[in-house]
């Protein structure tokens, strides 16, 4: 979308007039909003893919981990890939799908926020670098015209194409 076909400002916009029933943030949080879900994703992004390794590394109770992995598979964020150690029964590794990889900027943004507000005096225990040049990776917000959005005050919510007015019942 270019500046020429950007949505015009909505005069008299009042968020209370619009339904949140089909809000993508709410829908995403139904999947991602449980405490351990993002921790599981962090580990899979870090290359930890096997159930026992995930459980030991995170100290997530076995049933909770099993439920989180099943939910992430059900929603197409992870996929199961069978493997078998010599002499052992077949088990599954958990691999990211394309839908799962698309969550990477979210994890980087959470890490950026944690670095800013929660890291100890020694700094962050995790740095993410660009494989090609070695520079630190972080998140930025840009508009469709390519401008960096420096502050949340520089962006305003407006009804999108799927917006529905709230009924006054």
Could you list the pLDDT tens digit for every one of the 169 residues in the chain?
Answer: 444 455 555 555 677 877 778 888 888 999 998 989 999 999 999 999 999 999 999 999 999 999 999 999 999 999 999 999 899 899 999 999 999 999 999 999 999 999 999 999 999 888 999 999 999 999 999 999 999 999 999 998 888 888 888 886 5
pTM, entire model: 0.81
* DSSP 3-state of 129: strand
**Rounded distance, CA 167 to CA 153, Å?**
29
Domain boundaries defined on the chain: 20-154
Hey, what CATH topology would domain 20-154 get? Arc Repressor Mutant, subunit A (1.10.10)
| Tokens standing for residue 109 | 């943004």
- Give all strands (DSSP E) within 12-160, no chain letters: 78-84, 90-96
- Give all strands (DSSP E) within 1-115, no chain letters: 78-84, 90-96
> Are 68 and 60 a contacting pair, CB within 8 Å?
yes
Query: How many CA atoms within 13 Å lie on the side-chain side of 17?
Result: 8
> Are 157 and 8 a contacting pair, CB within 8 Å?
no
């Amino acid at each position: 979308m270019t500046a020429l076909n950007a949505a015009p400002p909505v005069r008299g916009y009042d968020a209370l007039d619009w339904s949140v029933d089909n809000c993508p943030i709410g829908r995403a949080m139904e999947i991602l909003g449980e405490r351990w879900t993002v921790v599981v994703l962090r580990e899979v992004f870090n290359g930890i893919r096997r159930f026992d390794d995930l459980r030991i590394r995170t100290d997530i109770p076995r049933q909770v981990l099993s439920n989180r992995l099943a939910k992430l598979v059900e929603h197409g964020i992870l996929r199961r890939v069978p493997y078998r150690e010599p002499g052992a029964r077949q088990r599954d590794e958990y691999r990211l799908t394309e839908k799962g990889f698309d969550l990477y900027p979210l994890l980087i943004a959470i890490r950026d926020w944690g670095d800013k507000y929660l890291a100890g005096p020694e700094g962050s225990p995790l740095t993410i670098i660009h494989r090609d040049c070695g520079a630190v990776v972080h998140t930025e917000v840009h508009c469709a015209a390519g401008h960096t959005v420096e502050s949340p005050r520089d962006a305003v919510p407006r009804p999108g194409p799927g917006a529905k007015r709230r009924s006054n019942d």
